[in-house]
A and B are shown apart, each in its own frame.
Chain A
Amino acid sequence: MMAKYLLLKHYRGAPAAVNDVPMDQWTPEELSAHVRYMADFAARLEGTGEFVDGQALSPEGTFVRYDGEGRPPVTDGPFAETKDLIAGWMVIDVETYERALELAGELSAAPGAGGKPIHEWLEVRPFMAHQHTVIE
């Protein structure tokens, strides 16, 4: 049965990629090739009926928390250099766990510096879902 998975991309915090040149050192052509690859990948998954959602995130961000009744929320940031930093995600809905791994593998082959695959590490996380059984 179909199950949803989150494919998580990291700016920082994942093990080092094979083609580890950071994005801010890519040429504009390399950058647009990367973006095109991601868009094509999403379009292909939409065609197979496996796409749910995908977004890229800005590296800028702030921590926010509740600070009690009637008080403005407390903010903290920008993020420290050591923090695990999410770059974006894609949510897929696929028949098997193996298929989720296969797609994550393809996504990890997106081109980076020199137009070569980045081989970046993606995190594959199953959604909390229900069991498929009536037997309780």
Chain B
Amino acid sequence: MTGTDIEGLLRELAPRALGAVVRRYGHFDTAEDAVQEALLAAALRWPSDGLPDHPLGWLVTVAARRLTDLLRAQQARRDREDTVARWTPVDARHAPPADRTPADSDDTLILLFMCCHPSLSPASQIALTLRAVGGLTTVEIARAFLVPESTMTRRITRAKQRIRDSGLRFGLPSPEEWAERLDVVLHVLYLIFNEGYASTSGPGLHRAELSAEAIRLARIVHRALPEDGEVAGLLALMLLTDARRAARTGQDGTLIPMAEQDRGRWNAELIAEGVRLVSAALPRGPVGPYQLQAAIAAVHDEAPSAAETDWPQIMALYEVLLHLSGNPLVALNHAVAVAMVRGPRAGLDLVAKLETDGRIAGDHRLHAVRAHLLEMAGDGSAAREAYLTAAGRAMNPPQQRYLYGRAARLDARD
């Protein structure tokens, strides 16, 4: 096995080892440290010693031993008598029901629910998920979010303290809480994906791995909950979006809009898998926002060319999505679809309504859409103005470069 193979294996085993240790001994926060140390030991020893016969068992044993040491040290420090009772294996006090032999995937799912606990801020949920479930080191997470390691260490430590203080037990959420808690998990995976997808090249290059990690985690959740439509929808959305990654930036890092992308560079395998997932999920219902966004992405991905895009279907899907979410960005995308079906003026009328919505009125994307639609309508000078306004408000250099480029192109034509 090569170092990369071992790294992949360790990442896969990380949440299962942690799940097994926490299930048996409790102490999520300390167990997490112990498992990280076991992973590190494995990464150092396995390449030279060879794989143990039972890699998962090896990790659990080493982590459990380390956990005992850590808890002993804590106990000595605190010198509190009741601690002994607390690190007795959970099983010794509460034998699990005979009919229940928890699967590894359950453990991973439970860990995800713990890391995405609603009492944590999104930044903490993301950091903790990447470390405890994704098996990334603090250094890797810090690098991906462009903060010093010490800052990320504190974020993770605080998140773990919060979980400890909340007295959260190791188990799946109750049926009453289920939907709400799963929403948070999916949102965290969605944010991790976006962190990676939004970065294109240059200093942000290593961040692209975050998208791959989000897809990997979404696959785990989908395997554990194959019947859940929104889980399938989110995974499909990620695959269908990630399929276009290679085509969306030029060699020099410039952004290429979807209409101008070389569709031959889209990843057909990812598209096929995404389409399959969303097609299977939609008829099962209930239909949620991730499935709808995946369906829209699928329509785009399946069009042989930009001109052959099935805009009426995209428009209809955005209408349903708009009823569900009321998000102004959805409304903006809906306006684009309307323009493609009924003409630029119909789209511009909808954009005009959004200009009074404080949540998006100052956003560069609103001005960029207005600029595109004005250009489509043949109003070059107004389009140019709108491109420049959008460029002035753009949030990253490639976007800014793209928008100035569009404005300059209109200049040249005048």
Q: Which of A10-18, A23-31, A46-54 contacts B (4 or more CB under 8 A)?
A: A46-54
Q: Which of A58-66, A71-79, A110-118, A124-132 contacts B (4 or more CB under 8 A)?
A: A124-132
Pairs A-B, 8 closest by C-beta atoms:
A130-B198, A49-B155, A49-B154, A2-B123, A132-B194, A134-B241, A130-B396, A93-B147
Q: Determine the residue in chain B with the shortest Cβ distance to A45.
A: B151
Bound: A93/B148 CA distance, A: 10
How many A-B pairs with Cβ below 8 Å?
72
Given contacts A2-B123, A128-B395, contact A134 B293 (CB under 8 A): yes
- Using CB atoms and an 8 Å cutoff, list the residues of chain A in contact with chain B: 1-2, 4, 46-53, 93, 95, 128-136
| A132–B191 CB distance below 8 A | yes
| B191–A135 CB distance below 8 A | no
Bound: A86/B239 CA distance, A: 46
Which residues, 43 to 88 on B, are CB-close (under 8 Å) to A? Answer: none
A-B contact list, 19 entries, CB within 8 Å: A1-B191, A2-B122, A48-B154, A48-B158, A50-B151, A51-B151, A93-B145, A95-B122, A129-B395, A130-B198, A130-B199, A130-B395, A130-B396, A132-B191, A132-B195, A134-B194, A134-B197, A134-B237, A135-B333
For the complex formed, measure the closest distance between the CB of B364 and the CB atoms of chain A, giving whole angstroms.
9
**Beyond A93-B147, A95-B121, A132-B195, 19 extra complex contacts between A and B, CB < 8 Å:** A1-B123, A2-B123, A49-B124, A51-B147, A51-B151, A52-B148, A52-B151, A95-B122, A128-B395, A128-B397, A129-B395, A130-B396, A131-B396, A132-B191, A132-B198, A134-B237, A135-B329, A136-B257, A136-B258
By size class, the interface of chain B is 35 or more
Q: Determine the residue in chain A with the shortest Cβ distance to B152.
A: A49
For the complex formed, measure the closest distance between the CB of A7 and the CB atoms of chain B, giving whole angstroms.
15
Which residues, 373 to 400 on B, are CB-close (under 8 Å) to A? Answer: 395-397, 400
Q: Which chain B positions have C-beta within 8 A of A50? A: 151
Q: Which chain A positions have C-beta within 8 A of B190? A: 134
- Tell me whether B25 is interfacial, beta carbon within 8 Å: no
Bound: A134/B158 CA distance, A: 29
Which residues, 183 to 211 on B, are CB-close (under 8 Å) to A? Answer: 190-191, 193-195, 197-199, 204
Q: Which chain A positions have C-beta within 8 A of B121? A: 95
- Tell me whether B146 is interfacial, beta carbon within 8 Å: yes
Q: Which chain B positions have C-beta within 8 A of A136? A: 257-258
- Using CB atoms and an 8 Å cutoff, list the residues of chain B in contact with chain A: 121-124, 145-148, 150-152, 154-155, 158, 190-191, 193-195, 197-199, 204, 237, 241, 257-258, 293, 329-330, 333, 365, 395-397, 400
Q: Which chain B positions have C-beta within 8 A of A93? A: 145-147, 151
A49: which of B158, B365, B397 is its contact (CB, 8 Å)? Answer: B158
Bound: A2/B120 CA distance, A: 13
Q: Which chain B positions have C-beta within 8 A of A130? A: 198-199, 204, 395-396
Q: Which chain A positions have C-beta within 8 A of B395? A: 128-131
Bound: A52/B116 CA distance, A: 24
Given contacts A128-B397, A129-B396, A135-B329, contact A4 B199 (CB under 8 A): no
Q: Determine the residue in chain B with the shortest Cβ distance to A4.
A: B146
For the complex formed, measure the closest distance between the CB of A16 and the CB atoms of chain B, giving whole angstroms.
29
Q: Determine the residue in chain A with the shortest Cβ distance to B157.
A: A49
Q: Which chain B positions have C-beta within 8 A of A46? A: 150-151, 154
| A133–B194 CB distance below 8 A | yes
Bound: A1/B125 CA distance, A: 11
Q: Which chain A positions have C-beta within 8 A of B330? A: 135
Bound: A95/B191 CA distance, A: 14
Bound: A78/B43 CA distance, A: 53
> Chain B CB within 10 Å — which of A48, A51, A129, A135 has the most?
A135
Q: Determine the residue in chain A with the shortest Cβ distance to B240.
A: A134
Q: Determine the residue in chain A with the shortest Cβ distance to B242.
A: A134
Q: Which chain A positions have C-beta within 8 A of B151? A: 46, 49-52, 93
Q: Which chain B positions have C-beta within 8 A of A4? A: 146
Given contacts A49-B151, A52-B151, A93-B147, contact A133 B122 (CB under 8 A): no
Bound: A53/B329 CA distance, A: 33
